[in-house]
Amino acid sequence: MRQDLSGHGASRGSALGRARIRLPHALDVAEERIDPGQVDAELARMHGAIDIVRAEMHRLRERLQGALASEIGEFLDLHALLLDDPELLQGLDGLIRTGPYTADYALRVQRDRIAGVFRDMDDPYLRSRIDDIDQVIGRLHAALHRREAEVQGIAGEIFVADNVAPADLAQLQAQGVLAVVTTAGSALSHSAILARSLHLPLVVGAAQALTKINDGDVLVVDGGSGLVVRDPGPDDLRAHRARVREGKRERRELIRLRREPTRTRDGVDIKLWANAESREDVAEAHALGAAGVGLYRTEFLFLGSRTLPDEDSQFRAYRDLVLGMTGRTVTIRTLDVGADKADNTGLALADEPNPALGVRGVRLSLRRTAVFETQLRAIVRASGYGPVRVLLPMIASREEVLAVRALLERVVGEVRAAGHATAEQLPLGAMIEVPAAALALPGFVDAVDFLSIGTNDLVQYLLAADRNNEALGTLYTPLHPAVLRLLHEVLTTAERCGKPVAVCGEMAADPACVPLLLALGLGEFSLHPATLLEVRQAIRACDLDALRARAALLLRARDRAGIEAWLDAAQADMRQPPSPLARG
Ligand code: PEP
Ligand code: MG
């Protein structure tokens, strides 16, 4: 029977296909014995995995707030209880000792024993708890092999899960999955950013998806509005077709803008940089006429692997990025792991009580100077192949900028002494994403060569609203008077001091925010190539003079409704025919 399940649209696009629920972690492990002398080591391996999963669940539980805490928290609590269950643990130990079996096989035997007990229960609710056992056992199995629980998608299907990690998304797309629906997550998460860059429709926060959708159900997913329809009717199918048609029409219109300048109606050129991570992003950025790469998040080199990338492999990645942009400037941001960007290398501190406020970004780099210097050397070597800027994440104070500058100068000297070619200048910039940095900017703007405003984090830290917590709903928004005032202050300081400044958070990729950012004085946007043409289109529809004249009104808005009313008025203005004096 037809059913609507709404979530939040996180990556646009309409998809029609059959559902694939994230499968319970089936364990296909053959019987395998070990030498009696290996028993202690195998027990230690098993208990190490249990500790990892316990910490993982604890972290997940901590992150849940508000309504979600009671809904999803129940499951997590149940899983945590299962992990502490003496029956499970003693059974595992016993199998490893007496088999003596491998930890993997012990897991499989225990899983089958417990599932057997549940299967015989009369109560269908209790019977269905086998899923929970499978999830816990699956997590343990993944932890034994120090990997994330794997995802499996099938071409032409729509993947439905509680959440997906960025690495999973990339894999799902490669497998030909049409769209992803998750019960948790937020449109500002790294998975969402990646989904947009992959053009993979994504709906997050569809809280009922896992309880209402079964494997094989037909779904229509609208990644724009966040609507998921199970067993769609004729109207839904028509609406889906219309969205697909409209999407194609919009793309055709946008394609025409590939070779057009990014110029306002009154003839002012605006710089569009690309946020790029992959070779495809770089090629697309180049083809769409991006001014250069405004944000290259180097953590993606670190997140996918269990070992730290060495200097040469980093150098090759940075050099190829530089070569791909054929002389246009490339902005390489130094490592920003920590918080929601958990790495597998053991670099980020585990179990921080509040990781978003913990040792992430430049804080981690300044503690792990050997790792940081390796990265800086690789970046400096890449600068021999084309213009490179170095960007520092999570800067909160002048001291941090000065410490990095001193380190960078030393590294440049060493790299040159070793006979490598380097650029004459390596501009050093700071991300403005910690409110303290925005407020203290007049005191350290002289220490940087350029700035990039990370609105994703700036909004989170300014509004005390977790960017990944869907339960906060509209509390996390850049459309808040405090955000606009801070942006305006940063832009004004940068302009006064002659320092280039871009916005590289998701706000810059939202065409609806273009008039607002232009009014506040922004002249450089950095965004994923996926929406570059849409933002160019929005900029070309704006009259900068008229918007700047309305900036004071915008800054007087007292709430979100006031800001939206201002935006509506600006949109109405954009629909007016261009002035005959416009040059673009
Ligand atoms: C930001 O915070 O806006 C930003 C661009 O950095 P990231 O999303 O990588 O934290
Ligand atoms: Mg950030």
Tens digits of residue pLDDT in 394-405: 999 999 999 999
Is residue 100 reached through a cis peptide bond, with omega within 30 degrees of 0 on the bond before it? yes
DSSP run (H or E) holding 11: strand 8-11
Mean pLDDT of 56-70: 53
Percent of the chain with pLDDT over 90: 60
90-138 confidence digits (pLDDT tens): 889 999 999 999 999 998 888 888 877 777 776 655 655 665 676 678 7
Is residue 473 over pLDDT 80? no
Which pTM was predicted? 0.69
- Provide the 8-state DSSP code for 531: G
Cα 234 to ligand 1 centre (Å): 41
Supply the pLDDT for residue 89: 87
The reply to whether 190 belongs to the active site is yes
Mean pLDDT of 164-193: 79
Strand residue runs (E) in 494-579: 501-503, 524-527
Contact 395, 432 (CB under 8 A): yes
Supply the pLDDT for residue 21: 84
> What residue segments make up the domains of the chain, in order of their start?
1-234, 298-426
Q: Whose CA is nearest to atom 3 of ligand 1?
A: 454
Contact 15, 181 (CB under 8 A): no
Alpha helices per DSSP H over 325-417: 362-367, 369-382, 398-417
Q: Whose CA is nearest to atom 1 of ligand 1?
A: 454
List of residues 6+ apart from 390 with CB closer than 8 A:
331, 332, 334, 376, 379, 408, 426, 427, 428, 429
Q: Can you name the CATH fold of 298-426?
A: TIM Barrel (3.20.20)
Banded pLDDT at 24 (limits 50, 70, 90):
very low
Supply the pLDDT for residue 93: 93
- Residue 334 DSSP SS3: coil
**Helix axes 86-98 and 39-63, enclosed angle (nearest 10):** 160
Contact 106, 27 (CB under 8 A): no
The rounded distance, in Å, linking the Cα atoms of 378 and 314 is 6
Ligand 1 neighbours (beta carbon < 6 A): 297, 336, 433, 454-457, 504-505
Please report which ligand is nearest the Cα atom of 275: 1
Cα 324 to ligand 2 centre (Å): 25
Q: Whose CA is nearest to atom 8 of ligand 1?
A: 456
Q: Whose CA is nearest to atom 4 of ligand 1?
A: 454
Annotated catalytic residue within 8, 25, 141, 190: 190
Amino acid at 212: K
CATH number of 1-234: 1.10.274.10
Q: For residue 352, how many other CB atoms are within 10 A of its CB?
A: 15
- Provide the 8-state DSSP code for 335: P
Banded pLDDT at 260 (limits 50, 70, 90):
very high
Length of the chain in residues, anyone? Answer: 584
Is residue 166 reached through a cis peptide bond, with omega within 30 degrees of 0 on the bond before it? no
Mean pLDDT of 300-304: 77
> 392-427 burial string, b = 16+ CB within 10 Å, else e?
bbbbbebebbeebbebbeebbeebeeeebebbeebb
Contact 52, 160 (CB under 8 A): no
Q: Which of 30-44, 258-272, 481-495 has the lowest mean pLDDT?
A: 30-44
- Mean residue pLDDT of the chain comes to 87
Annotated catalytic residue within 141, 240, 504, 542: 504
Amino acid at 93: D
Is residue 484 over pLDDT 50? yes
Is residue 60 over pLDDT 70? no
